[in-house]
Structure 1
Amino acid sequence: MVVKAILLFLYGLLLSAVIGVIAAAFLILEGAMTGLVWTSDNQVIQTILIIAGSVILYYLLKRWPELPQTAHDSISELKANQTIDYQDVFYNLLITLVILILGAGVGPEAALLSTIISLSIWQADNLRYFYFHYDELKELSIKTALAQLLNPFKYRQRYDETKAVKIPTIVRLKKLLYLVFIINGLVAFSILLKQTDQPSFILKLGQSHWQLAQLKILPVLVIGSYLLALACKVIYNFFCQFMNKINLSLMTRVFLGALGIIIVMWIEPDLLFSGQHSLHLLIGAWSNKSPLFLTGMAILKLALLAWCLNFNWRGGDIFPITFATMTLGFAAAAVLPQYDNLFVVTIVATAVMSELSSPIVAGIFLLFFFPLNLSPIIVLVAALFFLKNKYMPKLNLKINNEV
């Protein structure tokens, strides 16, 4: 039993490392191919490439109409079936790759999280096969046993509640092992990204010297941000309902999505892609822009996100919403120069993102970008919206969260 447990543990480490490597390889490939597609600064050439790429996307979506999947899709499938069909996981990444490298205003996190969830079920199925067929594997030669264990899809065992081990100590051990495997996958993911010098999506926005006296502006900013975010959600839901009533063909939807990307490319190319590598604009090229310009850019960014999501250019919304909400925060800070700059940005970004995405996502995600002394403000604002969602559900207009 000891040998079996050790081998099972080592097998799990190997599989979790493979998942981490696949996730990192996807981001590396996305960055490399994006650089190739957008090498030219000629907007006519870029327009031609987007149109050509949309043709490829159309044929991919025609072949796999249910893709690309998001984490929400994967979790829903897991809840419904107690398992996930992970056979299409690489097609999911391929379609997402095409969408991302063509400049769509969506993020990679939706496909990545969906892939990780799917491959985690794949890992569990492989470990389950090892556990229940260990005696058979022992009788095989090392070469044959390894060939079976390293086969990506053939030798695995799906979850069966009647066969599941329910001994409390083993269940607790399984949870601990899964935690170790998650950490191991994250380590493999981080090492590969670091070794290939991938740009970090985390950007520190500077230092804050806010004072307690400035808290008087917090209620005003929170209410104003909430009303603005609510207006965005009402418009988004109206747009979704309108588009759902129009029976457009897949080809029309894909090319309308491409048209939106092309228009934004001609108006303001910095708004293309997810926004994760464009945050530097807020403390660089856009630092002296007017509040009206910044507000316009934030609204256009959200409009591109909504446009892409509704016309089959699906992806994550966390990074685009982060960019848009921070841009709105800097617009508000420009209107209120008497207050600490990042103090205002923090309140507005957290409030708007809490309403458009979720308080938990906003509360955790934004902590990475702001200085430590603003953490209590982020937590406070996110907590206010969490309580609002809990006790005022009727005011919650749902937005399609694609992650």
Structure 2
Amino acid sequence: MKKVAIVLGGYTLLLSVVIGVVAALFLAAVHFSTDFVWEQLPESLNQPNFYPLMVGLIGALLVGLMQTRWGAFPYTMHENMAEFRDTGRIEYKNRLWKTIVAAWIILSFGASVGPEAALIGIVGAMITWLVEHLRINLASREELVNLGIGAMMSVVFLAPFNGIVQDVEHKNPVERKLPGWLRYSLSIVASFCALAAFVIVKQLLPLPESIFAIRLSDQAIWNLQNLIFVVPAMICGVAFAFYFNGLQSLVEKVLHFVRNKWLLALIGGLSIGLLGMISSYFLFSGEHQLIEMSSEVVKYSWPFLLLLALLKPLLAAICVNTGWKGGLIFPAIFASSVMGYVFTWPLNGHIGFLLTIFVAASCSRIVGSPLLTSSILLFVFPLQFFPFILFTSLIVNPKRVRELLHKEAKS
């Protein structure tokens, strides 16, 4: 076992560095193209009001072309993980480059989705290719692919404990033959090494240093008035999660009757363009706009914030179901944060604490994983709020907590 641990540890270090570098380069490519399409180009055209609609229509042509020629690229996170559960690998032959190009175009043209789904497909395929060319047994290959996916999630959300959380909270996609201490140790190594490589490469590129955080005031949280509103904040957060998830199901059912991929892509492009003309906050995943929104929220009216919180999930649902595919975790965090501001608006204070409770309750129900949600939100909100994030995520997911306790009891 010691020899196995050393060998797997060496391979894990190598793969983690590759993961961090690939993630940084892909996000850099998206950043540069997004900056050109949405900042430099409209500035040279004197900022025409219809510009978002024009970009949405051009993007629709590209997405329609990809969907008809290549198929449904990029695959969603659930599709990638389902493939991994069934086969212990993610296919790369004649698929990796299509995933990269499709995801790059969709993200660059303003789709209201996140990069995590595409990156799971990209990194999972690359790791599968690498480990299949290493002289190790099949079980070790599957373990390495699983470690790589966990490390990728840690990099995307800047959450170093995501790998361990996924191992604890979810059913293992492959039969585990390694002891728990070794899996957890390798997971920590993979996550931190991938994050280190990601940060180093980012420093070498002209990219924003920190794009995923919420600016909150340093108000005291231990007082009676704060605690009185905790339960209402949880209830409203869960209600918004029902709205978010319900929209996903509703839009999927409505668009299920549209079979033409060109028409679907056009619906997505028109939706992006029209809402983009109202506000740039409707565009993209919301990851880059969290700092700006949280620091300038007082500049916006309550009706505008309510409209943004209600329509952002709608656009995300339209994108995912019209071929503009991507992740929904970033849009969920952004929309929940905006609706959290709407909820705390009339309370005249205590915004930071109650907003944290609202977002934790909402996102943990949307994602369906209380521990994963908590690990993601760990560095989104101030660190002193983490106990409340974890407590809220567990409280609003009693069924999932019972499943976790049952799983631990069986093991």
Which interval holds the TM-score relative to the shorter structure? 0.7 to 0.9
Task: Describe the superposition over 1:104-140 as per-residue Cα deviations: whole angstroms up to 9, x where unpaired.
Answer: 1111111112222232322321223699xxxxxxxxx
The 3 A distance-change label for structure 1 pair 130 and 43 is farther
Instruction: Return the match for 2:204 from 183, 195, 205.
Output: 195
The structural deviation recorded for 1:320 is 0.8
8 Å contact 2:55–2:273 — kept in the other structure? Answer: no
Determine which of 91, 115, 120 is the counterpart of 1:113.
120
Q: Quote the offset at 1:72 in angstroms.
A: 2.0
CA contact (8 A) 1:294 1:327 kept: yes
CA distance in 1, matches of 2:274, 2:178: 58
Question: What residue number does 1:27 align with?
Answer: 27
Residue pair 1:290, 1:334 contacting (<8 A) in 2 also: no
The aligned counterpart of 2:149 is none
- In structure 1, the residue matched to 2:300 is 289
Partner of residue 195, structure 2: 186
2:364 counterpart of 1:357? no
Q: Shift in Å at residue 168 of structure 1? A: 6.8
CA shift at 1:268, angstroms? 1.3
Partner of 1:341: 351
Number of residue pairs matched by the alignment? 357
Q: Where in structure 2 are the equivalents of 1:210-225 lying within 5 Å?
A: 210-213=221-224, 214-225=226-237
TM-fit CA distance, 1:204: 4.1
Instruction: Tell me if structure 1 keeps the 8 A contact 2:24–2:201.
Output: yes
| Cα distance in structure 2, aligned partners of 1:374 and 1:25 | 32
Distance in 1, Cα, partners of 2:200 & 2:326: 25
Q: Equivalents in 2 of 1:175, 1:388: separation in Å?
A: 25
User: What is the match of residue 369 of structure 1?
Assistant: 380
- The letter of the residue matching 2:204 is Q
Q: Does 1:321 align with 2:327?
A: no
**TM-score scaled by structure 1?**
0.79
User: What TM-score comes out, normalization by structure 2 length?
Assistant: 0.77
Counterparts in 2 of 1:235 and 1:73: CA distance versus 1, 3 Å: closer
1:68 corresponds, among 62, 70, 74, to: 74
Letter aligned with residue 82 of structure 2? S
Contact in 2 for aligned 1:104/1:313 (Cα 8 Å): yes
Q: What amino acid is the match of 1:74? A: N
In the other structure, the counterpart of 1:44 is 50
How far off is 1:336 after superposition?
1.1
Hey, what's the Cα distance between the residues in 1 that align with 2:187 and 2:402? 35
Q: Is residue 309 of structure 1 aligned with residue 315 of structure 2? A: no
Q: Which of 282, 285, 291 is the matching residue for 1:280?
A: 291
**Per-residue deviation at 1:297?**
0.9
List per-residue Cα deviations over 1:270-303 (Å, max 9, x = no partner). 2211111111333333324333321211111111
Q: Go from structure 1 to structure 2 and tell me whether the alpha carbon gap of 1:217 and 1:192 turns closer, same or farther (over 3 Å shift).
A: same
- 2:100 aligned with 1:93: yes
What runs of 5+ residues in structure 2 fail to find an aligned partner? 139-175, 404-411
What is the percentage of aligned positions where both structures have the same residue? 28
Which of 372, 377, 386 is residue 397 of structure 2 equivalent to?
386
Cα deviation digits, residues 120-170 of structure 1 (max 9, x gap): 322321223699xxxxxxxxxxxxxxxxxxxxxxxxxxxxxxxxxx9979x
Q: Answer yes or no: is the 8 Å Cα contact 2:52–2:277 preserved in 1.
A: no
Classify the secondary structure of the residue corresponding to 1:34.
helix
TM-superposed deviation, 1:6:
8.6
Go from structure 1 to structure 2 and tell me whether the alpha carbon gap of 1:185 and 1:285 turns closer, same or farther (over 3 Å shift): closer
Which is worse superposed, 78-87 or 98-107? 78-87
> Cα gap change, 1:12/1:378 in structure 2, threshold over 3 Å: closer, same or farther?
closer
Provide the rounded CA distance (Å) in 1 between the counterparts of 2:384 and 2:5: 46
Closer, same or farther in 2 for the Cα pair 1:221/1:174, shift >3 Å? closer
Counterpart CA distance in 2 for 1:190 and 1:97 is 21
State the distance in 1 between where 2:221 and 2:192 align. 36
Matched, 1:83 2:92: no
Q: How far apart, in 1, do the equivalents of 2:222 and 2:7 lie?
A: 56
Separation of aligned partners in 2, 1:385 and 1:350:
9
Q: What is the Cα-based RMSD across aligned positions, in Å?
A: 3.2
Alignment equivalent of 1:330, drawn from 315, 330, 341: 341
Contact 2:258 2:264 survives alignment (8 Å): no
SS of corresponding position for 1:236: helix
Larger Rg: 1
Q: Distance in 1 between matches of 2:260 and 2:322?
A: 10
Distance 2:99 2:385 in 1: 38
Residues 373 and 179 of structure 1, relative CA distance in 2, 3 Å threshold: closer
**Matches of 2:178 and 2:277, distance apart in 1:** 60
Hey, what does 1:239 align to over in structure 2?
251
Distance 1:221 1:184 in 2: 37
Task: For structure 1, list consecutive stretches of 5 or more residues without a partner in the other structure.
Answer: 132-165, 393-403
